[in-house]
Structure 1
């Protein structure tokens, strides 16, 4: 539930930020009411496109069984982890010029294509966030069933409500939290979630590799636990379970899992080495 809530919350806030910037830009144009219809039409089409992608992913998952389904779920988890790192890295470098970049693109599209260009810009912006959300949610919840799946869905709905409240708070007052601080905190949590998705995908791949013919050292690296810290912090419930879901913690990690987890954080540290832009502009 917490995974889906955070994913939808963070992605919805980013989508609302983009739409807010474009809406503020539209309000300064001639025929603002006319352009506003194109803007919201593009946003709705972006949501529709994300829904189509979700349906296709679900159909693909249901059409597969056994080993093929495991590989498919593992691939989506790895793609979700990669997208998280890419998205955080992009925002880390471009947050300070997001408003200017969107306004410039909107000016260019309006001059070339009129309101249709603005609609396409909104469609691309919303569908990107929506598509990322779909991939993240599938990667995080592919194995859930029954009550757990229901809680996962409730978390997604709660995340959307929380996003609306967060945007209202961020617009209404900066005394509690500013846009730069909000994105700094959410980026850190996203990277932890990316690690959890990566570990989940690698473990699924490891399970499939164990069924193949490999030398004994490979089997030990994939399947044997390096240690067992369950007595100190069990990854099945409580704090350990929360860390397992949100950061990829394992009480009994294999060599493969540990190496991939360490490699992930080394890659993230290198990826984010470029100094972050100082100011994230408010949409207004």
Structure 2
């Protein structure tokens, strides 16, 4: 449930950031206020598109056989892992210029009275965050079909969104403790850990399907020191991919993942300051 709350919280704050930038910009002028209904229309359309994607994923999974579902869930976990890394790298590169890019795009649409263009701009931005949320959730926990767990996931999602609203409000205050820069840096680390956990989860399924060789299984047994049934071990398993008795191939893939991630982050950090992404100070 912690994964659900975290994913909804992080993605909701990012969506609120996009909508907040455009809302503030449109509200600043009488001409811009005419676009507010189109802004909210874009938000609603983006949410509907993300919901449609969720229904498609659930529908596809229900049509598959047991083996097909294992394949589908493994592929979704891999896709979610790639999306997490891509999102972190993208925010590093474009974070500081996000406000400028959104406002310039909206200005072009408002200046030519292309309100449909503004709607599409917002729709794409919201649908992007919503679709990422859907893929992340499915790749992590949505494979469970138990009603009790489903309702717990729903409650965790609602709680995550409520905390996102509170977080956005606090960030808007521009305090010294909670700033946009610190928010993105902290959640960047948590997202990359979660992506590693998704990758390990995918390898679990691929090994069970006899697609990925285990090589040595297990390579160690640390269940006596830290089990994954509850407590800290379960949190590490959910958020970092910890396994008490992993296969050698899992350890090698997990290590390779972090080498690739570190390489991508260093490459992004080595870009000129004008292009390097930094979290927006405020909206």
TM-score w.r.t. the length of structure 2 is 0.93
Cross-structure match for 1:149: 150
Cα pair distance change 1:224/1:43, threshold 3 Å: same
Distance 1:47 1:14 in 2: 14
Match of 1:213 in 2: none
What 5-or-longer segments of structure 1 have no aligned partner? Answer: 211-217
Match of 1:215 in 2: none
Check whether the contact 2:180–2:282 (CA below 8 A) recurs between aligned residues: yes
Name 2:65's counterpart in structure 1: 65
Q: Mark the CA change 1:192 to 1:220 in structure 2 (over 3 Å): closer, same or farther.
A: closer
Tell me, yes or no, if structure 1 residue 82 matches structure 2 residue 82: yes
1:203: which partner in 2? 204
Q: 4+ residue stretches of structure 1 with deviation over 6 A?
A: none
Who is 2:12 aligned against?
12
Deviations 1:144-199 (A, max 9, x none): 22433322221111100000000011112413211010111011111111111111
Tell me what 1:238 maps to: 231
More moved, 27-36 vs 230-239: 27-36
**1:271 matched to 2:272:** no
Maintained 8 Å contact 2:32/2:110: no
C-alpha deviations, 1:45-92, integer Å up to 9, x for none?
000111111100010011112111100011001000000000000001
Match of 2:32 in 1: 32
Q: Deviations over 1:84-103 (max 9, x none)?
A: 00000000111111111111
Equivalences for residues 43-58 of structure 1 within 5 A: 43-58=43-58
**How many corresponding residue pairs?**
275
In structure 2, what is the equivalent of residue 130 of structure 1? 130
Distance in 2 between residues matched to 1:7 and 1:42, nearest whole Å: 22
Q: CA deviation at 1:27?
A: 1.8
Question: Take 2:87 and 2:12, find their aligned partners in 1: how far apart are those partners?
Answer: 14
Residue 175 of structure 1: aligned partner? 176
For 1:150 and 1:188, the matched residues in 2 are separated by 28
Q: Which moved more, 1:244-253 or 1:138-147?
A: 138-147
Match of 1:262 in 2: 255
Q: Which runs of 5+ in 2 are unaligned?
A: 270-275
Q: Structure 2: how far apart are the matches of 1:143 and 1:114?
A: 42
Shifted more, 229-238 versus 168-177: the winner is 168-177
Given that 1:81 and 1:195 are in contact with CA atoms closer than 8 Å, whether structure 2 keeps it comes out as yes
Paired residue secondary structure (2:243):
coil
Cα deviation code 1:203-232 (max 9, x no counterpart): 11111116xxxxxxx7551x7110100001
Alpha-carbon distance, 1:270 to partner: 0.7
Summarize the Cα distance change of 1:80–1:220 in structure 2 as closer, same or farther, 3 Å threshold: closer
**Alpha-carbon deviation of 1:40?**
0.6
Aligned partners of 1:99 and 1:281 also within 8 Å: no
Q: CA shift at 1:278, angstroms?
A: 4.4
Aligned 8 A contact 1:77 1:136 in 2? yes
